[in-house]
Chain A
Amino acid sequence: MGILEVKNVGKRFGGLQALSDVNLSIAERSVHAIIGPNGAGKSTLLNCLVGKLIPDTGSVMFDGQSVLGRKPHEINQMGISRVFQTPEIFGDLSVLENMMIPCFAKRDGAFELNAISNVLSQKDVVERAEHMLEEMNMADKRHMTSSSMSRGDKRRLEIGMCLSQEPRLLLLDEPTAGMARADTNNTIDLLKQISEERDITIAIIEHDMHVVFSLSQRITVLAQGTPLVEDTPDNIKGHPKVREAYLGETQTAA
């Protein structure tokens, strides 16, 4: 049993069958990549996992509990954190404040009317946020407005915000999209370090094969809304079906 079990999931948008009969099992503490050409249904699948979309058929179980019908914040509180394609952070707030919000969510749950005490008097949250910033090597930026940082730093902050909640499953939606090569490599190193040092499962949707092959232990290839193959990176590389899905036709190795 994996930590995330997707069974027979289907999703239709009008005349478009975006997902059909998707079965996926993500093993605990692994790095699992989901790849596929444009329009394969990767993002739809991800949105079904985090509560943004509800699949028409099938089930999604996280650690033995169904996530279907739950709101995004409830699913997050179950232990699933999501990193977006473009870094989603609180741009108007300082880096430290950004980091404090997930810490408050972790401590106080989905809602807590704490309207009188000062933010800085919440020592446990402040310490936790500071600690997380240090781990992310961002302590020197703590008073910066987060929107003024580089894209790589924003991504780093976003990942740090997710990690501060100690999620059991981290979902990343093309985390290196639009990044320069140096930033991409930094992100790969960061994710590698995270998966080695923490008790965490990482599921990653990615276009960039360099990222996929340097990170993941299992790869699922999605094409036209359904899983084509699932295997180790080495086996995926030479798989004829994968080449077909990406290149549109079977080509013999040159």
Chain B
Amino acid sequence: MLGLNKQDTRLLLLVVILTMAAPFILNPFPEGSAMAQFNAGYPDLMQRFVIFGIFAIGFNILFGLTGYLSFGHAAFLGIGSYAAMWMFKVLGMNVLPALALSVIMSGIFAVFIGYISLRRSGIYFSILTLAFAMMSYSLAYSVLATDMDGPDKQGLLQKGLTGGETGLQLTLQDPRILGQQTTAEGNIPVPSLFGLEMRSAAELNVGDWVFTFSAGYYFAAFVMLLSFYLSIRIFRSPFGLVLKSIKSNQQRLNYTGMNPKPYMLAAFVISGMYAGLAGGLMASMDPLAGPERMFWTASGEVVLMTILGGVGTLIGPVLGAGAIKYMENILSKINSDILHTWFAFLPDGLEDFVVAIIYPFIGKGWHLTLGIIFMLVVIFLPGGLVQGGQKIAGMFRGKKAADEKADGKTTPAE
């Protein structure tokens, strides 16, 4: 189907079902119950799942296929966000032109950064990309945030191109030549898709459960599915095969009459455009773009997501993005009061002791938990969560195969 083989079609369908049913799947606990804080089915978090999923899918096209570790991909995320914001300010609140400019701008920057960074490989490539990202961060934070209008004017560029530390925000004075400048109530309009506001949501109450269906989430999820589909096509294409061969043995490829440079650059640009798309979506969900989106920790996060999920696998980066964003948002919400209510059944001294042990790993300490999980995955599951899933599936299948053998049946070879 859609030019995919059976296995990939099944994977795509699975992802379609999971993303479409996410408001149900991520809200397994009834509202008001003790477990409700583990619910992740609220729009803001679900949007993050799919947006960072796109970011990680794109990153994986570079890192997973070619093995080149970019440590500055957040630059493109930021560029995408700023581009989308400018589209909202100048053109109007429709998200499609905003996303288009995000992808184009990040692509242009990726050509430039990639062309220079790809002159080196290995650690030097990583450092070059990191340097470019930090340069972008500094530019956005200060250089491009100076008043470009002149001190006596209050125009579009009053806070520069990037808005500096506070970030780029929409104002009532923005021209928005193709859309309305202000809403009927005199407010700043919100990003929308031909009138469908990204923040609008419908709620469904089933007993104690509350499921939220957000327009923004479904739009972002749709974009994510398109990106995912495209990445499957790239993985299975001759281009993808050459990228894998670069990772495997660049020397042999050189002496096989292929020039690795343009292949690498194309992969870098494609993955930069994915990051730009993710950045544009972030701005579309919440119209604000700040320089911290380009900070090196943001670049590191996508590396973690990809490795945690499974480098070079199709679904891994999405899983990794989901896992990290879930921990960031859910674990960090747990505080010592909640811990005390959980362990209230223990004798007093023991309760305090257990809470004291667990406390460093929750709330602000969620990074510690992430670090431990990351360590365990890298050591025991170098293939990431995907490898973990395969191992579990293999155990079941192995058991089944053994049962069938015992029954005297034979399975035809695949």
Question: Which residues on B sit within 8 Å (CB–CB) of A122?
Answer: 238
Question: Which residues on B sit within 8 Å (CB–CB) of A112?
Answer: 238-239
Task: Select A119's contact among B237, B247, B263, beta carbons within 8 Å.
Answer: B237
Give the interface centre of A50, A73, A93 by most chain B CB atoms within 10 Å: A73
B262 at the interface (CB under 8 A from A): yes
Chain B window 59-72, contacts with chain A (Cβ cutoff 8 Å), 1 for yes, 0 for no: 00000000000000
A165 at the interface (CB under 8 A from B): yes
CA distance A155 to B204 in the complex (A): 64
Question: Which residues on B sit within 8 Å (CB–CB) of A20?
Answer: none
User: Taking A115-B240, A118-B237 as contacts, is the C-beta distance between A88 and B258 under 8 angstroms?
Assistant: no
B233 at the interface (CB under 8 A from A): yes
User: How far, in Å, is B263 (CB) from chain A's closest CB?
Assistant: 7
Contact check, B255 vs A72: say whether CB atoms are below 8 A apart.
Answer: yes
Contact check, B254 vs A73: say whether CB atoms are below 8 A apart.
Answer: yes
A76 at the interface (CB under 8 A from B): yes
User: Taking A73-B254, A101-B253, A122-B238 as contacts, is the C-beta distance between A91 and B259 under 8 angstroms?
Assistant: no
B window 222-246: CB within 8 A of A: 233-234, 236-242, 244-245
Contact check, A91 vs B248: say whether CB atoms are below 8 A apart.
Answer: yes
Size of B's binding interface in residues, CB under 8 A? 29
Question: Which residues on B sit within 8 Å (CB–CB) of A120?
Answer: 5, 236
Question: Which residues on B sit within 8 Å (CB–CB) of A84?
Answer: 251-252, 255
Contact check, B239 vs A73: say whether CB atoms are below 8 A apart.
Answer: no
A window 86-102: CB within 8 A of B: 88-93, 97, 100-102
CA distance A175 to B104 in the complex (A): 49
Chain A interface size, as a band, is 35 or more
CA distance A90 to B247 in the complex (A): 9
Chain A window 108-132, contacts with chain B (Cβ cutoff 8 Å), 1 for yes, 0 for no: 1111111111111110010000000
Kindly report which residue of chain A lies nearest to residue B266, judged by CB atoms: A113
User: How far, in Å, is A204 (CB) from chain B's closest CB?
Assistant: 16
User: Taking A115-B234, A118-B3 as contacts, is the C-beta distance between A100 and B256 under 8 angstroms?
Assistant: no
Contact check, B248 vs A90: say whether CB atoms are below 8 A apart.
Answer: yes
Contact check, A114 vs B237: say whether CB atoms are below 8 A apart.
Answer: yes
Contact check, A101 vs B256: say whether CB atoms are below 8 A apart.
Answer: yes
Contact check, B256 vs A165: say whether CB atoms are below 8 A apart.
Answer: yes
User: Taking A88-B252, A92-B248 as contacts, is the C-beta distance between A105 and B237 under 8 angstroms?
Assistant: no
Q: Which DSSP category, helix, strand, loop or mixed, fits chain B's interface?
A: helix
Question: Which residues on B sit within 8 Å (CB–CB) of A117?
Answer: 3, 237-238
Contact check, B256 vs A76: say whether CB atoms are below 8 A apart.
Answer: yes
CA distance A136 to B382 in the complex (A): 35
Contact check, A73 vs B259: say whether CB atoms are below 8 A apart.
Answer: yes
Question: Which residues on B sit within 8 Å (CB–CB) of A89?
Answer: 249, 252
Question: Which residues on A sit within 8 Å (CB–CB) of B257?
Answer: 73, 76-77, 102, 105-106, 109-110, 165
A32 at the interface (CB under 8 A from B): no
A62 at the interface (CB under 8 A from B): no
Task: Select B258's contact among A91, A97, A101, beta carbons within 8 Å.
Answer: A101
Chain A window 60-97, contacts with chain B (Cβ cutoff 8 Å), 1 for yes, 0 for no: 00000000000111001100011010001111110001
Kindly report which residue of chain A lies nearest to residue B265, judged by CB atoms: A111
Question: Which residues on B sit within 8 Å (CB–CB) of A88?
Answer: 249, 251-252, 255
Contact check, B241 vs A92: say whether CB atoms are below 8 A apart.
Answer: no
Question: Which residues on B sit within 8 Å (CB–CB) of A119?
Answer: 236-238, 240-241
20 additional A-B pairs beyond A73-B257, A101-B241, beta carbons within 8 Å, are: A50-B255, A71-B254, A72-B255, A73-B259, A89-B249, A89-B252, A92-B248, A93-B241, A93-B248, A101-B253, A101-B256, A104-B258, A105-B258, A113-B262, A114-B238, A115-B233, A116-B233, A116-B237, A117-B3, A121-B3
Q: List 7 A-B contacts (CB under 8 A).
A: A71-B254, A73-B253, A90-B245, A104-B258, A106-B257, A115-B233, A165-B257
Closest 3 CB pairs of A and B: A76-B257, A115-B239, A105-B257
